[in-house]
């Protein structure tokens, strides 16, 4: 029998002893064994910190992002292999797509996110903070990668997505990972890691894999490490309370199974499109992955007067779900992950039946296609009904982690909000309604108890990714029972693996550290115009002080006629009483245009085009007779990648534009962007 490998300290190692037996969830046949016995977990952590961490830290965000992209492209070449193994977990083709290609999609998403970061090994966090009246002392937060390892303890239901959605984030942040998948489906995770290691895309030490027990791994974590856990709330609490986690103040993120819910709005009737949308959403969430999703719908709340219509419609929809061997193209729902999982689900259902009744499905029998219902871990979808949700606690506390959900009534929107909250915190909640007023009232009332809320109606149904789909750029997590943590969330997730540091110093010092010009820092003026410099030649702080220009009444009138902006403050002398203006004022956009006329170099050169405007403030009114001048300063440089081989090598340059009048006071300030060619193509 095959024994799974552990990829640690730069090599594949099998654990001692026989280890835990692994079985095909569809037919019950043995697959192999998994063991981590005999491994030195302290050495594994140390290897990640000393080998993987420095290698990743020296890469910029852009380099890390391109690394993720290359990895995603590589894994796509091995999809057939991954799918063939995934079927053994009981997953259908559609289930496997979510797990495998959904996970690879996360790599692509975080690869693209590199463009939101500087081409540096660190990043700025938030706006600068002035700390002195004279402008010589300031503060600025920055983020640097932690010097430890991300330890990911994952659940059995998504052996690929669960790994890739987490490592995409920590790798972009510059931190290596140790992945400990749930042993029962770790054979699929191992297959993916084999391809990752074989690709040689990641630096050595950036990823390690443990197939089996975590042993004493947590006994050796430090404050520079990060631990994430996905699984049951009970196990998560035990890990979160580990003495070493507490003593070292190790960041710990938990995503626990939760009693997620869906609400049918009072406005929805069987003749409305939202009715069918609701039925399809519940059926999908009950049967996808055989209900083994941390985001699956466990509680269904519908208006009291629609209870029977809804559960009958759901029963009809569920009856169309074909169950059996996931490799058979006729099958729409596969098996649970294993026999032990099926027994656990049945035990939890028995607890629910103390206050509920089955209105669809059978606890003891199931019709299957191309399979043996006893040898495989198959189970019928079960729809339960509870008529007294305010008097029953089990339905809000007990989770049967399979194709099981309970329908319950409510009488008004306040009751629906109260019932949604009785789950004590969930990963996701959905409301299906055509009324924006109902949606608003429900969301604002229930938002405190849910990590994500999907408002589903006919307008968005076709494009909706669904109740159960966490997305890379949105946070995945929830309060209370759901774990109190967050995963992914785009930039937010990356920051979780970085240390925030508050810098204090002079603007010049902070400019040198951050590589972003800070107002008041020292500048450099040269005879060569900044617009005559190629991207590589420009330095942060390069400055141009322009000639001056006096604004005339003709300028104001002409700009109004050219722009068609005849706002009274610019053109009507008789309407200024009671305003902040003494007389017709120059248009703000004229001031900005006039500033450009002063600082732009007209000759053809490295500057290819104006790329946009990020910030613009008109601080002081400018009247006819005022004389303005401009200080143009190179504020920040952003690398751009070539989109094709014949593309021009270039970057984006941010310029600080400060416009002053004859008194020396600022009248306008803006950040403009230009696209600048590189000298070396």
Checking if the pLDDT of 582 tops 90, the result is no
Instruction: Give the C-alpha separation, 584 to 327, whole Å.
Output: 76
Instruction: State the virtual CA torsion across 56, 62, 68, 74 in degrees, nearest 10.
Output: -110
The stretch 117-141 carries a mean pLDDT of 92
Q: What's the pLDDT band for 7 if we cut at 50, 70, 90?
A: very high
Rounded-to-10 torsion of CA 292, 297, 257, 288: 20
Q: Are 617 and 588 in contact (CB under 8 A)?
A: no
Query: Is 255 an active-site residue?
Result: yes
Measured CA to CA, the distance from residue 283 to residue 414 in angstroms comes to: 26
CA 468 – CA 419 distance, rounded (Å) = 20
- Percentage of the chain surpassing pLDDT 90? 80
> What average pLDDT score do residues 317-340 get?
91
Nearest to 164 by CA among 71, 294, 233: 71
Query: Is residue 268 over pLDDT 90?
Result: yes
What is the spatial distance between Cα 46 and Cα 619, in angstroms, rounded to a whole number? 54
Question: Would the pLDDT of 1 be above 80?
Answer: no
In this prediction, residue 64 has a pLDDT band, given cuts at 50, 70 and 90, of very high
For residue 234, name the pLDDT band (cuts at 50, 70, 90). Answer: confident
Length of the chain: 681
Provide the pLDDT confidence category of residue 139 given band limits of 50, 70 and 90: very high
Tell me whether residue 463 is one of the annotated catalytic residues: no
In this predicted structure, the answer to whether residue 6 has a pLDDT above a threshold of 80 is yes
| CA gyration radius, the chain | 30
Position 571 confidence tier, pLDDT thresholds 50, 70, 90: confident
> Residue 649 and residue 626: Cα distance in Å, rounded?
42
- For residue 233, the model assigns a pLDDT of 82
pLDDT digits (tens, 9 = 90+) for 619-643: 999 999 999 999 999 999 988 888 8
**403-424: b (≥16 Cβ within 10 Å) or e:** bbbbbbbbeebebbbebbbbbe
**Domains in the chain: ranges and CATH:** 6-256+493-499 (3.40.605.10), 261-482 (3.40.309.10), 523-677 (3.10.129.10)
Lowest average pLDDT, out of 99-113, 599-613, 636-650, goes to 636-650
Model confidence at 138, in pLDDT bands (50, 70, 90)? very high
Mean pLDDT computed over 592-621: 91
Q: What is the pLDDT of residue 640?
A: 86
pLDDT of 576 reads: 87
E strands, 203-349, in order: 207-209, 226-231, 252-256, 261-264, 299-303
402-426 per-position pLDDT tens digit: 999 999 999 999 999 999 999 999 9
Q: What is the DSSP letter of 127?
A: E
pLDDT digits (tens, 9 = 90+) for 158-203: 899 999 999 999 999 999 999 999 999 999 999 999 999 999 999 9
**The two three-digit tokens of residue 303, written as one number:** 């208006």
Q: What pLDDT, on the 0 to 100 scale, is given for residue 646?
A: 79
* Catalytic site residue from 255, 274, 281, 399: 255
Give the containing element (helix H, strand E) for 671.
Answer: strand 666-677
Rounded mean pLDDT, 543-567: 94
Residue 681 has pLDDT above 80, yes or no: no
pLDDT at position 232, please?
Answer: 84
* Pairing between β-strand 542-545 and β-strand 549-550 as defined by DSSP bridges: unpaired
* Chain segment 420-446, per-residue pLDDT in tens: 999 999 999 999 999 999 999 999 999
How is residue 35 annotated by DSSP?
A: -
| pLDDT tens track for 497-519 | 999 999 999 999 999 999 999 98
HEC-encoded secondary structure of 220-263:
HCCCCCEEEEEECHHHHHHHHCCHHHHHHCCCEEEEECCCCEEE
Which band of pLDDT confidence, cut at 50, 70 and 90, is reported for residue 575? confident
Q: Which tens digits make up the pLDDT trace of 26-54?
A: 998 999 999 999 999 999 999 999 999 99
Q: Which tens digit of pLDDT belongs to each residue from 363-382? A: 989 999 999 988 999 999 99
Mean pLDDT along residues 265-283: 95
pLDDT of residue 166: 94
The catalytic residue among 123, 211, 261, 294 is 294
């Amino acid at each position: 029998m095959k024994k799974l490998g552990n990829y640690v300290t730069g090599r594949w190692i099998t654990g001692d002893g026989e280890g835990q037996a692994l079985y095909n969830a569809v037919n019950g046949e043995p697959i192999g064994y998994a063991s981590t016995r005999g491994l030195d977990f302290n050495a594994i952590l140390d290897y990640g910190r000393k080998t993987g961490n420095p290698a990743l830290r020296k890469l910029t965000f852009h380099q890390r992002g391109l690394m993720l992209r290359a990895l995603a492209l590589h894994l796509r070449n091995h999809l057939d292999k991954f799918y063939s193994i995934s079927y053994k977990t009981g997953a259908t083709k559609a289930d496997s797509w979510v797990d495998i290609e959904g996970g690879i999609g996360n790599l692509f998403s975080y690869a693209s996110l590199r463009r939101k970061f500087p081409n540096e090994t660190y990043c700025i966090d938030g706006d600068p903070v002035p700390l002195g009246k004279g402008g010589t002392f300031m503060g600025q937060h920055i983020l640097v990668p932690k010097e430890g390892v991300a330890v990911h303890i994952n659940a059995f239901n998504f052996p690929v997505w669960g790994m890739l959605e987490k490592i995409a984030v920590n790798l972009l942040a510059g931190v290596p990972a140790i992945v400990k998948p749930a042993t029962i489906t770790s054979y699929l995770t191992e297959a993916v890691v084999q391809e990752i290691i074989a690709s040689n895309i990641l630096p050595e030490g950036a990823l390690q894999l443990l197939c089996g027990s975590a042993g004493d791994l947590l006994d050796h974590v430090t404050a520079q490490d990060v631990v994430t856990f996905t699984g049951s709330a009970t196990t998560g609490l035990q890990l979160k309370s580990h003495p070493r986690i507490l003593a070292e103040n190790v960041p710990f993120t938990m995503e626990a199974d939760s009693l997620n819910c869906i609400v049918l709005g009072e406005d929805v009737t069987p003749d409305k499109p939202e009715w069918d949308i609701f039925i399809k959403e519940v059926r999908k969430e009950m049967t996808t992955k055989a209900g083994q999703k941390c985001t699956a719908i466990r509680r269904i709340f519908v208006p009291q007067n629609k209870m029977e219509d809804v559960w009958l419609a759901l029963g009809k929809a569920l009856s169309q779900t074909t169950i059996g061997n996931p490799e058979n193209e006729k099958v729409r729902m596969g098996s649970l992950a294993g026999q032990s999982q099926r027994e656990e689900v049945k035990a939890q259902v028995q607890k629910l039946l103390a206050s509920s009744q089955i209105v669809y499905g059978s606890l003891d029998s199931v019709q299957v296609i191309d399979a043996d219902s006893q040898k495989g871990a198959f189970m019928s979808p079960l729809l339960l009904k509870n008529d007294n949700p305010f008097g029953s606690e089990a339905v809000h506390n007990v989770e049967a982690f399979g194709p099981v959900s309970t329908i319950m009534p409510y009488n008004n929107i306040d009751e629906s909000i109260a019932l949604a909250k009785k789950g004590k915190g969930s990963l996701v909640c959905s409301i299906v309604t055509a009324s924006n007023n109902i949606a608003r009232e429900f969301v604002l009332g229930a938002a405190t108890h849910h990590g994500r809320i999907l408002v589903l109606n006919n307008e968005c149904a076709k494009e909706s990714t669904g109740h159960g789909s966490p997305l890379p750029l949105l946070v995945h997590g929830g309060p209370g029972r759901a774990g109190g943590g967050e995963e992914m969330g785009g930039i937010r997730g990356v920051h979780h693996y970085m240390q925030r540091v508050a810098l204090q110093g002079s603007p010049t010092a902070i400019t040198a550290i951050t590589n972003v010009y800070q107002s008041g820092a020292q500048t450099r003026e040269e005879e060569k115009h900044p617009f005559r410099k190629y991207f590589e030649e420009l330095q942060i702080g390069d400055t141009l002080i322009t000639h001056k220009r006096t604004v005339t009444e003709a300028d104001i009138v002409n700009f109004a006629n050219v722009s068609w902006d005849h706002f009274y403050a610019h053109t009507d002398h008789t309407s200024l009483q009671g305003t902040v203006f003494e007389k017709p004022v120059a248009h703000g956009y004229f001031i900005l245009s006039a500033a450009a006329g002063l600082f732009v170099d007209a000759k053809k050169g490295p500057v290819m085009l104006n790329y946009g405007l990020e910030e613009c403030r008109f601080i002081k009114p400018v009247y006819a007779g005022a004389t303005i001048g401009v200080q143009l300063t190179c504020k920040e440089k952003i690398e751009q990648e070539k989109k094709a081989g014949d593309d021009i090598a270039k970057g984006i340059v941010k310029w600080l534009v400060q416009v002053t009048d004859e008194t020396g006071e600022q009248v306008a300030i803006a950040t403009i962007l230009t696209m600048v060619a590189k000298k070396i193509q």
